Amino acid sequence: MPIAYKEWAVTVRALAEGEQLLTLRTAQPTDKDGKLKFKHPRFFLYPTFDMHRSELVRESHQPELERSLEEGVWTDGEPSPLEVAPDGSLPQPDRIRIRAWAEVAEYWTITDRRIITDLAPFHVWNQGYAERRLGWRRRDPLHVIMLRTYRIPRPVTVRVQDEYATPDSWAQITRELPFEGTPVLSDGEFERAAEAISDIVSASDRTAALA
């Protein structure tokens, strides 16, 4: 069965539109050498709707938060802003739309929170995202994962199963999905962005283990 990586819906939207190249994860799990254990080198992007909070997205990308609701399908229609709970949670959709897949291009382990700010051109989050959504503590390491994302020819609607609602970052989708499509950025665009990201993370010897 196809493997999907669960990520915040607004992030999935930004990745699929070429507006974001990164995802973040707290520095677990790793192997004995401190290398990130990323279970699958390529995977579909599964949008989640927990903590649908506007204060975690930069002001310039606030419209993306609302548009990201299009990644879910609700029986009673798309939720209105009034249906967002105080903690930012939404009623969970009955189905989700999968429109893209990604592969891990490279990753870095960082401890300097300023790097997240420096990487702002390559993601939609604000400075507090890692600490407030991921529970990251400033003295702990954090994984910055660069993804190469591809849009599949037609979005596939998948019914949400109970087994998808787990803390695990991965879900096995119960229908076939195609690992095909076109990259959201051209080779040249991606190479230039990848070089810029690498330069930012590596500046002043702030980088740690590369994959």
Predicted local distance difference test score (pLDDT) of residue 35: 58
Rounded to whole angstroms, the Cα distance separating 31 from 45 reads: 24
Taking all residues of the chain, what is their mean pLDDT, rounded to a whole number? 83
Segments of the chain scoring below 70 in pLDDT? 27-37, 51, 79-89, 204-211
pLDDT value at residue 141: 82
- pLDDT per residue as tens digits for the range 144-161: 999 999 999 999 999 988
Other CB atoms within 10 A of residue 51 CB: 15
Strand ranges (DSSP E) for 2-73? Answer: 3-8, 22-26, 42-48, 72-73
Predicted confidence at residue 124, as pLDDT, reads 92
Where in the chain are the domains?
3-205
Contact 13, 67 (CB under 8 A): yes
Going by C-alpha positions, the residue among 76, 82, 23 that lies closest to residue 47 is 23
Fold of 3-205: 2.30.130
Query: What pLDDT does residue 145 have?
Result: 92
Q: What is the pLDDT of residues 173-187, one digit of tens each?
A: 888 888 999 999 999
What's the whole-model pTM score? 0.86
Cβ-based burial of 110 (10 A; exposed 0-12, middle 13-18, buried ≥19): buried
